[in-house]
Amino acid sequence: MRLFKLFLFGIFLVVFWSCSDLGDPLQVPEIEVSTSLNFDSVSLEDSTEATLQISNDGTLALILDSLRITGTDSADFQFTSQLADSKEIAPKGNLNITIRFKPSALGAKTAALNIFSNDPDNPSLTVSFTVGNVLVSYATQIQPIFTTNCTSCHGVPNGLYLTSYDNLMIGNSNNGPVITAGDADNSVLVQKILGTAGFGGRMPADNPSYFDSHQDELQLIKDWIDEGAQDN
């Protein structure tokens, strides 16, 4: 008889244990998101987009209270679509968020996305943005330098003419191509500006010391060549 009672108690324990498990009192939302979002290299004045996936690995709806872009360069990043104040992601569901990066200046960028949610373990998360290079733009930064300082002489298709990207790259000079993509130091155009070409004078011929007081413009030309001399 005692053995039978023990047997009943055993059954009771097994049933109790499985019931409490079925009830699962610990229903929680669980946010899953990568810790960084990568943006490609982009030219100044141009833009690029990257998409972040936020998933709910939990058993209860995940509610995103707010998504905020923060950091020194936050103004260069925008959501591509207006987000509702609070977003809900069903269990095992996910939400894609696309962010556009449009650099307002050259140089490194610091920004991140802060996510506030009802996940008890991660009520606030930060996704940091990593950005490729912000590339110099030929159209908006280089051609204007040539138009201001060079085309008075190099403005007709008679030898080197600097009125457009295509005309520059034809390399129709007395000394062959003047741009070696990816290598500013070995580009005749840079050497002519520095006076190291080994022939003729420093450019611009009518104001040879111009770039001594405009180092920033010379640096743009060099960077643009080192970045591959793209038509951007």
Sign of CA pseudo-dihedral 50, 110, 112, 46: negative
Residue 31 binds ligand HEC, judged by CB under 6 A: no
Please identify which residue in 184, 192, 220, 232 interacts with ligand HEC, judged by CB under 6 A: 192
Residue 200 binds ligand HEC, judged by CB under 6 A: yes
| CA atoms of 146 and 224, how far apart (whole Å) | 13
Q: Which is nearer to ligand HEC, 82 or 158 (CB)?
A: 158
What count of other Cβ atoms lies within 10 Å of the Cβ of residue 70? 13
Residues 74-133 that bind ligand HEC (CB under 6 A): none
Residue 178 binds ligand HEC, judged by CB under 6 A: yes
100 burial class (0-12, 13-18, 19+ CB within 10 angstroms)? middle
Element housing 107 (H / E) = none
Q: Rounded to 10 degrees, what is the CA torsion of 173, 190, 103, 33? A: 100
Q: Which is nearer to ligand HEC, 139 or 153 (CB)?
A: 153
Residues 148-177 that bind ligand HEC (CB under 6 A): 149-150, 152-154, 159-160, 173-175
Q: Which is nearer to ligand HEC, 109 or 192 (CB)?
A: 192
Q: Are 193 and 211 in contact (CB under 8 A)?
A: yes
- Binding residues vs ligand HEC (CB under 6 A): 146, 149-150, 152-154, 159-160, 173-175, 178, 188-189, 192-193, 199-201, 203-206
